[in-house]
A = this chain, B = another copy of it.
């Protein structure tokens, strides 16, 4: 993409209303704009990050055996009356009346709707187990929306729901999601630790929060240094019940707790291995048994002909929130440092002199070759000062920068910079291509 044809309103100044670093950087780097309190438009660069995150989440859900569907944003109040939550849910639920005065709401979550859909579709034990998920905008009418997309009102969430014939099956579904989450966050370059959590108003008796470690995170977390192991588990067999349980048991054996859940005895036991950091919650998984299936009269025929009420769980990932969480975990003074897997473009290509034919010719040639090689490139072809272009590239945090200046052109070299380390190398255009392609 040529910057001369893009929409990237960057700014040097830190916006006055932004308190945390991810919010500041998302505004400064032109990723989002607030359009109403706690509601954001995703500008082109921000949308690309959001889509990369969404894709990773989707791939790992699919790999774990979940099936994607898409439920609408608006729901009928009737549905929520079936579970009893319509009256129980507080003012965070945005209630709406349509032109016929029918009571509607903007879905904050989808337990009721997915239970109704499954009730309509499933007849017998052959239709279970299933994990259904969707990635859809939700709305929670926060009284004080803040921290940008980290605590917005309209937000993108992946929510999955499992249906099993019994508790043992539900535990396996829970484990599928547990391990899928470890992989999901690891692929984004994040260290995310599952921590025992209260189940809150959603109900149930087994629950973990996934917390990303970020020095500027919202809450204190405490964990054993064993958590500093690599978390990617790509060779998992999700059908292997025992194997999956062993992974989950191994990962939950080590101490990790939020501030509210600290355990002095286990911290003493950890001793010098105890670590403290700050964190951002990016996922939350629950097993809640037959809470919704019983209330909403979902049952299927068991193998022996009897009726059985499925056991359920739900599994959320804050997709839009992750954009902020990743920035909290990965930035410096100059701006964002995107992990490769979620970077909006892999390479930023800069011409130092838009009026120098040699610079422009080499830049155009490299841009064409990068594009042909399938390397996503943002090409700053504008007639701007070099200093402003450097600052913009550092701010928006693409993993690689290639800088083309008249002096280098004369010597047949370009400068390649790795954003994360600041390391710079002078390379021939061919070497630069190979370097940034990572092949």
Contact = CB atoms under 8 A, between A and B. Distances in A.
A42 B67 contact: no
B67 A5 contact: yes
A232 interface: no
B36 A99 contact: no
A178 B120 CA distance: 42
Given A69-B43, A91-B99, A75 B5 contact: no
A9 interface: yes
Interface string A24-36: 0000001001011
Most buried by B among A6, A42, A75: A42
Given A35-B113, A126-B4, A44 B71 contact: no
B39 A99 contact: no
A39 B91 contact: no
Interface stretch (A135-143, A368-376, A396-404): A135-143
Interface residues of A, number: 57
B76 A35 contact: yes
Given A35-B79, A36-B76, A106-B74, A69 B130 contact: no
A121 interface: yes
Most buried by B among A5, A36, A94: A36
Contact of A5 (B106, B113, B130): B130
Interface in A6-38: 6-7, 9, 30, 33, 35-37
Nearest to A41: B71
B44 A68 contact: yes
Most buried by B among A6, A9, A143: A9
Nearest to A9: B121
B130 A72 contact: no
Given A47-B68, A98-B94, A104-B36, A130 B73 contact: no
A132 to B, nearest CB: 6
Contacts of A120: 9, 33
Contacts of A394: none
A66 to B, nearest CB: 10
A94 B35 CA distance: 18
B137 A35 contact: no
21 contacts: A7-B118, A7-B121, A7-B130, A7-B132, A33-B120, A35-B75, A35-B117, A36-B76, A36-B79, A36-B104, A40-B72, A42-B69, A43-B117, A47-B69, A47-B70, A50-B70, A72-B137, A73-B154, A74-B153, A94-B96, A98-B153
Given A33-B117, A35-B117, 5 more contacts: A36-B72, A42-B71, A47-B70, A73-B137, A94-B96
